[in-house]
Amino acid sequence: MPGDLVRCFVCVQLGGAVKEKLSRWVSPFRKMMPELRWVKEDAYHITLKFCGEIPYTLLYKLENALEHGLSLKKTRPFPLELAGVGAFPGFRQPRVLWAGIGGEDYLVQRLAAVAERAAVAAGIEREKRPFHPHVTLARIPPGADLPVGALREMNSSSESWGEWTVSSLTLMRSDLLPEGPRYSPIAVFEFSNDLEVQ
Q: pLDDT tens across 2-35, in order?
A: 458 999 999 999 999 999 999 999 999 999 999 9
Query: In the chain, how many domains are there?
Result: 1
151 exposed, middle or buried (CB, 10 Å; 0-12, 13-18, 19+)? buried
Structural domain harbouring 108 = 5-190
Q: What is the pTM of this model?
A: 0.91
Q: % helix / strand / coil in the chain, to the nearest 5? A: 35, 40, 30
CATH number for the domain that contains residue 141: 3.90.1140.10
Cα angle value 116/122/51 (rounded, 5°): 55
Neighbour tally for 51: CB within 10 Å: 23
Q: Residues 94, 155: contact at Cβ < 8 Å?
A: no
Identify whether 40 is part of a domain.
Answer: yes
Which amino acid is present at 166? Answer: V
Identify whether 101 is part of a domain.
Answer: yes
Identify whether 25 is part of a domain.
Answer: yes
Q: Residues 173, 184: contact at Cβ < 8 Å?
A: yes
Cα angle value 142/148/154 (rounded, 5°): 100
Q: pLDDT tens across 84-129, in order?
A: 999 999 888 889 999 999 887 888 999 999 999 999 999 999 999 9
